[in-house]
Structure 1
Amino acid sequence: FATGETGRVGSPKRREIGHGRLAKRALIPVLPSAEDFAYSIRVVSEITESNGSSSMASVCGGCLAMMDAGVPVKAHVAGVAMGLILDGNRFAVLTDILGDEDHLGDMDFKVAGTANGITALQMDIKVQGITKEIMQVALAQAKEGRLHILSNMQDAMGSVRTELSAHAPRMVSFKIHPDKIREVIGLHISEISNERVKEVKDYLAEGQIVRVKLLAADERGRLRLSLKAAMADEGGTIAPLAGASEVAEAAAEAAPASGETA
């Protein structure tokens, strides 16, 4: 949304989708691999008012936001919008165009990238075409403007924040002293499976390592863990261990009948 725009409320409009895709394309080359950063990443850019390129502002802001959130991006990414005033054989290339320069000019050329190169381009022109000379001048000025913006971004945030938010999900392994187990509680039998579990050993073996989900922590800091919730998030369920039913049946057959004495 933007000040002065009273468009429909609901799904994103074509302009918003296009700007989002351009910003996404500009940022993807510097994102970490799934092996290096196992979190989902969502960047939301809301432009409350603009007199320039909101998509290039989204590239700069999105990059800084990810760095501030602890996403290990490979480099700063900045973007700048270039304009053009064409008069016969004469021309002037404008850097970081304003709204009027976009509206009255002959070109809107968006260039985004790092200090080492370009990651995304997008051009709108109102003329039949542009010459090689115009393109060369536009790219040269865009590089100069991009490097200037990158310098300011570097001053604002020189490196990725090394510590994650206290609210970010994380996996931690730790040992508990037997005397303190009751303080942690751990995995309750009711959170192992959606089915009724009579014996934990029917579903889990001693020493088995499983992934659980942290559901809540009470006022004393005790954790409520769930295996079935973690399995549901991964699209699966936990089944009884092989042979568990046979062991249970054998135990039932070996038990003395009601009223019998040994």
Structure 2
Amino acid sequence: NFPPFSTGESRIPRGTSRREIGHGNLAHRALKKMLPDNLPYVVRIVSDILESNGSSSMATVCAGTMSLLDAGVKLKRPVSGIAMGLITDKGAVKYAVLSDILGDEDHLGDMDFKVTGTEKGITATQMDIKVDGLSYEILSQALDQAREGRMHILGKINETIPNPRPEYKPNVPRIEVILIPKDMIGAVIGPGGKIIQGIQADTGATIAITEDENNGIVEVSGPNLEILEAAKARVKAIVALPEVGEIYKGKVKSIVAFGAFIEIMPGKEGLLHVSEIDWKRVESASDVLKENEMVEVKLIGVDEKTGKLKLSRRALLPKPEGYVERESSRDSRPPRGNDDRRREGGYNRDDRRGDDRRGGNFHGGNRDHRDDRRGPRN
């Protein structure tokens, strides 16, 4: 923005001027190649010129570099710029190359040569001349002087802000990408989009999901860091796998006779057995826990067959001095005797069924006796 008062003028601003457009394009070309390739943002730099007695476009390049570094943008290298001028006689025999020209030197001189770049090279140039042409000698000297001036300005920039901020400022809109297994995309979306819509409604973030050949791609964006981190935590909790030995803060979902079910992650519940609630004997889980209460538990195991999670609360409590582990009722049960009592007492199979069916007295007699009653055959 180049308001009239910056040059001592008094007129009504009537939209963007050609000067503002041209200077903006030059500053854009000077800086855009130094932006990181993976920058997920659209960057808009606003340069308000409050006073001008030199090159406002080169001031915009230098100030733009510092503002990007201050915002946390990881520039490949800082950029500086300088405007070079030229004074010649009528025959161009005598000349003087000027560095960082003032307004009068620009108005009365024969050249306005703007050069921007890094310590490695030039990123953009723009030249206006009032003579028919420039010799190689003049152009070479102008570029050499421009490099000296740019290096001096870069030194001042590095003294002020040598490196980009390690993190974006808290009020910077945030965009981050999370890679998840493809088979977990459905879990993040939920039935009818219930899960993803709930995350967006609760946190205020915006979530978009796509996929490639190998992964699901979750793009999370929010107006500030706090909202972004809240949404990321919800997504990661859905796709995370519980690890044995880790401590989780979960919600008591339900209480049953043998313990309580604790939700340690969204959609992932584990059993806190009544024996793992406390070191002392607990008759009922409801004596210690209440539904919807938040409780810290430790994952102590995962059933190999069913995948069910085994939790412990007492593992996080100090063990009482002199504590002796109770024997389970199964271990303390006396051993059973052998099977002789079953064979000795009562009747056995032979007693129950009587003699052999073919030769015994079952229901009195056998086949021979039956035949005798029929009498002799002819």
For the aligned pair, the TM-score class normalised by the smaller chain equals 0.5 to 0.7
Q: How does 1:34-183 map to 2 (within 5 A)?
A: 36-87=38-89, 88=91, 89-170=93-174
Secondary structure of 2:88's match? strand
Distance in structure 2 (CA, Å) of the matches to 1:116 and 1:224: 43
Q: How does 1:201-220 map to 2 (within 5 A)?
A: 201=191, 203-204=192-193, 210=196
Higher share of residues assigned strand: 2
TM-score of the pair, normalised by structure 1: 0.67
**Are the counterparts in 2 of residues 212 and 227 from structure 1 also a CA contact under 8 Å?**
no
Q: Which is higher, the Rg of structure 1 or of structure 2? A: 2
TM-score of the pair, normalised by structure 2: 0.47
Residue segments in structure 1 that go unaligned for 5+ positions in a row? 174-191, 193-199, 216-221, 234-262
The structure-2 alpha-carbon separation of the partners of 1:134 and 1:225, relative to structure 1 and needing over 3 Å to count, comes to closer
Deviates more, 1:163-172 or 1:99-108: 163-172
How far the C-alpha of 1:130 sits from its partner, in A, is: 1.0
Distance in structure 2 (CA, Å) of the matches to 1:56 and 1:84: 17
The structure-2 alpha-carbon separation of the partners of 1:8 and 1:212, relative to structure 1 and needing over 3 Å to count, comes to farther
Residue segments in structure 2 that go unaligned for 5+ positions in a row? 178-188, 209-220, 222-378
Matched length: 196
Distance in structure 2 (CA, Å) of the matches to 1:211 and 1:141: 59
How far the C-alpha of 1:161 sits from its partner, in A, is: 0.6
Distance in structure 1 (CA, Å) of the matches to 2:25 and 2:176: 36
The structure-2 alpha-carbon separation of the partners of 1:133 and 1:168, relative to structure 1 and needing over 3 Å to count, comes to same
Secondary structure of 2:145's match? helix
The root-mean-square deviation of aligned C-alpha atoms, in Å, is 3.1
How far the C-alpha of 1:5 sits from its partner, in A, is: 3.5
The structure-2 alpha-carbon separation of the partners of 1:213 and 1:106, relative to structure 1 and needing over 3 Å to count, comes to farther
The structure-2 alpha-carbon separation of the partners of 1:172 and 1:13, relative to structure 1 and needing over 3 Å to count, comes to closer
The structure-2 alpha-carbon separation of the partners of 1:152 and 1:227, relative to structure 1 and needing over 3 Å to count, comes to closer
Identity among equivalent positions (%) equals 51
Secondary structure of 2:174's match? coil
The structure-2 alpha-carbon separation of the partners of 1:212 and 1:85, relative to structure 1 and needing over 3 Å to count, comes to farther
